[in-house]
Amino acid sequence: MERVNLCAGWIAVFVGLLVGAGIGMFFHRDEWLGGYGSWRRRMLRLTHISLVGTGLLNLAFALSLGSPARGRCPPVASVLFVVGAVTMPLVCGLSAWRPAFRHLFFVPVSSLVVATAISLFHGFVR
């Protein structure tokens, strides 16, 4: 499963950098997307950073699987990290478009929290 998380991680980081570059082309405009503090602009910034952040989580997970100190981690953790990497920027982007999508944040947040808890338990507690 570590290959899946490595690929997902690097893809998310790459897309996050591209999104950041795209957003960065317009950041100098004070009133772009309603101004710096507007909901839409904040959510697009969060989309960019969530791509990079969840990508790094997937990379950290994949690279920690090879550690001899870790126990064998259930594949569900791997899947949940990928689900978080896909759904977090998706929900952020959709929320920028339609604020009602913010109610879906429980999907990426819970998947990442559970994946991290499983990893911690199987890596250090067990």
**Each residue of 46-81: pLDDT tens digit?**
999 999 999 999 999 999 886 655 557 788 999 999
Contacts of 79 (CB under 8 A, 6+ apart): 1
Name the percent of the chain lying above pLDDT 90. Answer: 67
Secondary structure of 59-76 in the HEC alphabet?
Answer: HHHHHHCCCCCCCCCCHH
Burial 99-115 (b: 16+ CB within 10 A, else e): eebeeeeebbeebbebb
Q: What is the mean pLDDT of the chain?
A: 90
Domain boundaries, the chain: 2-125
Contacts of 120 (CB under 8 A, 6+ apart): none
What pTM was computed for the model? Answer: 0.89
pLDDT tens for each residue of 96-121: 999 999 999 999 999 999 999 999 88
Q: Indicate if the pLDDT at residue 124 is higher than 70.
A: no
